[in-house]
Amino acid sequence: MRRFAALIETLDTTNKTNKKVEALANYFQEAPKTDALWAVALLSHRRPSRPVTTTLMRAWAAELAELPEWLFEESYHIVGDLAETIALLVHKEGTASPPSLKDCIEDIIALKPKTEEEKKNYILNQWKSLAHFERFVFNKILTGGFRIGVSQKLMTRALSKAVGVDETILAHRLMGQWSPLNTTFDRLILHPNPEDQISQPYPFYLAYPIEEDTFFTKEDAKDWNVEHKWDGMRAQLILRKGKHFLWSRGEELFTDKFPELELLTKQLPSGTVIDGELIPFKDNNIGNFQDLQKRIGRKTVSQKLQKDIPIVLMAYDLLELDGKDLRELPLWKRQQQLKALLKNTIYPKAPLLLSEVYCLSTWDQVRKEREKAAEKRSEGLMIKQREAAYGVGRKKGGWWKWKSDPKSIDAVLTYAMRGHGRRTNLYTDYTFALWNKGELVTFAKAYSGLTDAEIKKLDQFVKQNTLDRFGPVRQVKPSLVFEIAFEGIAPSSRHKSGIAVRFPRISRWRHDKKMEDANCLDDLKQLLP
């Protein structure tokens, strides 16, 4: 625990990638293997499930620090991070030597079924006996959410350096559902047994936004295959040994949420892995992304839900066929084999569609195809190098996304909330409203798009124009207008405005506009497809 806390502190205090890799690699080499495995698990978002609610943790911390709860809450809002707030408020210096990372996490796992009193005793004891940063890390493990600027890719690179196994091979080994409770460092990382791993997905290859000013002059359209970029959920479908597994890009197993895919185990050969996009698809029409979330959100997927929101997998890549890894083949070959494979297994016979591939000879033709995005219900285009292998992670060069131009609307700032992490102490999360019958109606929240200097200025404005305070949120005097850009737009019964927008962000501060000049809700409704 001490070594791990020191590692996190080092990672937390540097923004230099090399230093992070070096610190991680040292840790993986020096720490006991059982601890190192848990570190890999935590840094790849595999945490023990939370044994206590944060509400209880807050109450216990306030009690231990002898503070009224309101003051604890205010402190939390100002610090912006619960784990850190508790670490600061308890303010005891650890004397005893802390447990190992493995023991600590296994204690936390064992805590789950215990009584509230037992949980409280254990947690308070840890708080009192750990040093400040250890206490912070302990709380982070308890509450989940280890956001410390270390991507899985960076962790993998460091691990590769430490154990001398190639990075892409390691990335593959670390995929899927494993836990230090049912494997070892040796079995998972150093000498895996392929028989164990029928559910194991391949690392997803990710696309970069296209660099419009250079790409089209540098590249020849003939070298690239074009597809529409479907607005759904990226998914990898694995069919092996009569079983099927569905993985999200975040490496979550979603198999249970989409039982209709089971049919495919009978229609396609074992040893098939397909990369594609899950989309809602009803009566031959692509549905809204929001509908897909309804299916993911439910614990059990009823027959009715399957009927109301049917889905298909829009397939666009073939990673494995007959148990053979195809990722080194050029794209066009994989696409060819995918097409052949799916010839008799296409909607409505099966919940599968083949994403159409366009081979165009000029960028003008590509541009024209992009203009059809709304009509095809896509988000824009994917542009993929015809000869490229299937890569690992976000690697520049082979796949580019060229989204449709965002829509935008001018809205009034109405609320602001303190940010988190690097933006703690500044008001950086904003709520925007549009006019509707003389009133301002909230329509979106956004927290990116401004420069640091603008954030500072806006922070000052918020502090000087507060109408009311609700914990970390301040209601501000409506007066400032911002242009808000967003990708998708759909009707929504969950939003007060009746509309949900996707990826809203601030595109600019409209100093030139008064709040009366902001758009109204009807203007937004005009943008609905």
Footprint on this chain of another protein (rule: CB under 8 A)? 12-15, 65, 67-68, 70-71, 74-75, 78-81, 84-85, 88-89, 91, 136, 420-426, 459, 463
Closer to another protein at the Cβ: 372 or 469? 469
Alpha helices in 193-253 (DSSP H): 212-218
Burial code (b: 16+ CB inside 10 Å, e: under 16) for 283-322 equals eeebbbbbbbeebeeeeebeeeeeeebbbbbbbbbbbbbe
Pairing of strands 272-282, 311-321: antiparallel
Interacting residues of 388 by C-beta distance below 8 A, sequence separation 6+: 330, 331, 397, 398, 399
224 exposure class (CB count in 10 Å sphere: 0-12, 13-18, 19+): buried
| Cβ at position 266, least distance to another protein in Å | 53
Q: Which is nearer to another protein, 351 or 419 (CB)?
A: 419
Nearest to another protein of 137, 311 (CB atom): 137
List active site positions.
229
Instruction: Tell me the C-alpha to C-alpha distance, in Å, between residue 236 and each of 173, 179, 272, 385, 433.
Output: 16, 21, 10, 20, 38
| Shortest distance (Å) from residue 194 CB to another protein | 42
Q: CA-to-CA distance for 333 and 354, rounded, in angstroms?
A: 15
Under 8 Å between Cβ of 40 and 189:
yes
Min. distance of Cβ 474 from another protein in angstroms? 13
Give the closest residue to 492 by CA, choosing from 450, 467, 528.
Answer: 528
* Residue 372: count of CB within 10 angstroms of its CB: 12
Look at the block and give the residue holding tokens 């023991």: 103
Task: Kindly state the smallest distance separating residue 220's Cβ from another protein, in Å.
Answer: 42
Cβ 140 to another protein shortest distance, Å:
11
Q: Which two tokens stand for residue 127?
A: 């708080």
When the beta carbons of 12 and 167 are compared against another protein, the nearer one is 12
Least distance (Å) between residue 494 CB and another protein? 31
Closest CA to 223 of 368, 397, 370: 397
Smallest distance from the beta carbon of 78 to another protein, in angstroms? 6
Cα–Cα distance list, 99 to 11, 129, 183, 385, 437 (Å): 21, 10, 21, 51, 62
The least CB distance from residue 341 to another protein, in Å, is 49
Give the pair of three-digit tokens for residue 489.
């737009």
Residues 100, 109: Cα–Cα separation, whole Å:
14
Query: How far is 357 from 185, CA to CA, in rounded Å?
Result: 42
CB of 456 to another protein, least distance (A): 9
Q: Which of 38, 87, 14, 378 is nearest to 185 (CA)?
A: 38
DSSP 268-318: S-SSEEEEEEEEEEETTEE--HHHHHHHHH-SS--HHHHHHS-EEEEEEEE
Closer residue to another protein (CB): 35 or 81: 81
Nearer to another protein, 294 or 422 (CB): 422
Closest CA to 415 of 460, 467, 366: 467
- Round to whole Å and give the CA distance between 53 and 73: 15
In degrees, rounded to 5, the angle at the alpha carbon of residue 327 between the alpha carbons of residues 262 and 252 is 45
Q: Return the number of the residue (71 or 110) whose C-beta is nearest another protein.
A: 71
Work out the angle between the directed axes of helices 54-64 and 69-79 (0-180°, nearest 10). Answer: 110
Nearer to another protein, 12 or 196 (CB): 12
Q: How near is the Cβ of 72 to another protein at its closest, in Å?
A: 8
Nearer to another protein, 429 or 483 (CB): 429
- Toward another protein, which CB reaches closer, 87 or 292? 87
3-state secondary structure of 166: coil
